[in-house]
Every structure is written in structure tokens, then in C-alpha cells.
Structure 1
Amino acid sequence: MNYLTTITDFVRSVGIEVIFETIAEETFLPGILISNGQLIIDTTQLLYPGDVLHEAGHIAAMPAAERHSLRGNVGMVKDASEAMGEEMMAIAWSYAACVATGIPPEIVFHEHGYKGASQWYIAEYTSGNHLSLPLMQWAGFCYDPKNAVTNNTLPYPSMIRWLRE
């Protein structure tokens, strides 16, 4: 399976622009640049296609009014607590996207990322311990099992929207 094609097709389908071009500057993750709310991908530098899905999660987690202004390492432009919340939502969003696309979580949560906690994230999410679910609900992405039944929909990792309003 060509994971990069699957990922970029999905990211585009939820409303995030993806552009393939050469990136001349140093980036937080090799081969990926967030610029004006778009994902720029340099396939000659990209090491892990799953990183694209995670970075798309950062764009998706931003309020719509701020999304177009994102550039570079988005975690560095906010105060620490706000950045941590958005990081947690990007991780949860990435897992939901794995489920929606059928991509194994190991593609996003690869051994060279997540400060050595990749296997822990995989174990938590696949066992049903949906980390950051309250944040995801607060941002309007999904429901927990009880609220999903009330709203006649499926709970996380199913999503009611992929972009924060």
C-alpha cells in the first residue's frame, strides 16, 4: 500500500490543502512544512509518511479563523498549555484518521517519533483508552459512547467533523 498517497488523499478530502514541492528551509519534521495552513511535502526529504497525517492533525485542531496563519513548528507559537492541548488533539486526530483510512497506527506512531512513546500510544488507543477524548469533544470533533448514542452517531474514533470550526 502506498501510505503517502492514501494519507494525502484523505487529508485533501477533509479540506486541508497538500502541495508537493521542494522545501529549502529546515523543518521540524523532515520533508514537511506547514505554511499558511497548507501542508507542503518534499518527497525527497520525507522520512515517515505518517508524519504527514500527524501534521495535518495540527492544522485540523486549530480554530478555523487561525488555520490560515499557521507556519512552521506550530507548537512554538502558543503558550505551553495551549500547545500541549493542540498536540494531544493532533495525536487523537491522527489515530482517528488511521482508523478511517485503514492505515496501521504504526505508520503514524512510528518508532522514531513521539519521544519513545509510540508503542504506548498504540497500546492505549487500540485498547479503547481514547486519550484526549474530552478535548476532542470540546473542539466538536466527536462524541464519547454515551453522547454518541444520544446523538444517533458512532463514538470516537468516528468523527462528526475533521476540521475544527
Structure 2
Amino acid sequence: MRRSFKDSLKVLEADIQHANTLASDFPREYDGACLQMRMSYSPVAHFFLFLVQWADCHLAGALGLLRILIYKVYVDGTTTMTTHERKASIKEFYAVIYPSLLQLQKGVTDAEDKRQRAVCFERYKRREEAEQRQYYDIEFEKEDDCGICMDTNSKIVLPNCNHAMCTKCYHEWY
């Protein structure tokens, strides 16, 4: 069932109010401000809104006629609406802002946190083991090389200086 334009606006306003409630629950900044949002119409919206009454607010949002204004509200009730407001489209509101506030409201449970830590620990543990294995393989290969001619030889001599040399280089060197 398709909603009317007015119903869509009411739902959008209700979601914005719910987002404001969620945002007000979070710790305030040092100056006591919190973020709030309200719906805003484009200056030309009033002229075109009667043309799109038959469509839902997604068309009005796509045309840029409706925006969400994000601004700070201080403890004393003053706002930063005129100087530092930010605008979000309806799509940005429903895709990013509203889901983020809902997720922040739920918070991260201890069980979820422990599960995430275990997953990360296992992932990095496997990566670290693979890197160590690769390092040891390289070191093991280096021990098979002669330190002078860099030839890979199965007969390596370790003199008192602990340098690995093939027998040919050892006899030439000493």
C-alpha cells in the first residue's frame, strides 16, 4: 500500500524526532551542547510541493525540496542553527544518521565485544604465525648459502667467526 505525501512527511518527522531523542541521550560536549535535527524545506519547495502532492516524499527528497538540518542545541536552549548547521538529504538521513543513532543506542554488549576480540585475536595470531614461518624459512635458506660466494652448497663450514662458508671458500680464506 502506497502512503500519501502527508503520511510520508509525518513518518519522516517522527523518525527525526526519534533520532533527536536518541542523540540527546549521549554525553554532551564540554559546553553542554547536543546535536538535534529538524526538517527543512527548500526556498522553492512551497511552489513545487503542490505539484508533487501525489508522490511520496522520496520524490521531494530526490528533487532537493526536503532536507534535514543538523545543529547543536545548548543547555540554555540556544542553537547554532544559523551559523553552523549542516544539511543532510533524506537518503543520507535514512542510510547513515538514523541507523548510526539506533546502533549507538543498542551499544556494544560484553558478549559481542568478547566475540569480536576473539575473532581479531585468531585472525592476527594466524597472520603472525604465517609471518614468523616465512621469516624462519628465509633464515633457514640463508644458512645454506655461503657467506662469501653466495653459492648454495650442501657442505657449509662454520669457522670460529660463525660465518657460513662453503668448503672451497673456507680453504681459500684460511
Specify the TM-score bucket, using the shorter chain as the normaliser.
under 0.3
Q: Which has the higher contact order (CA 8 A, sep 6+)?
A: 1
TM-score (norm 1): 0.28
Higher strand share: 2
Q: Larger radius of gyration, structure 1 or 2?
A: 2
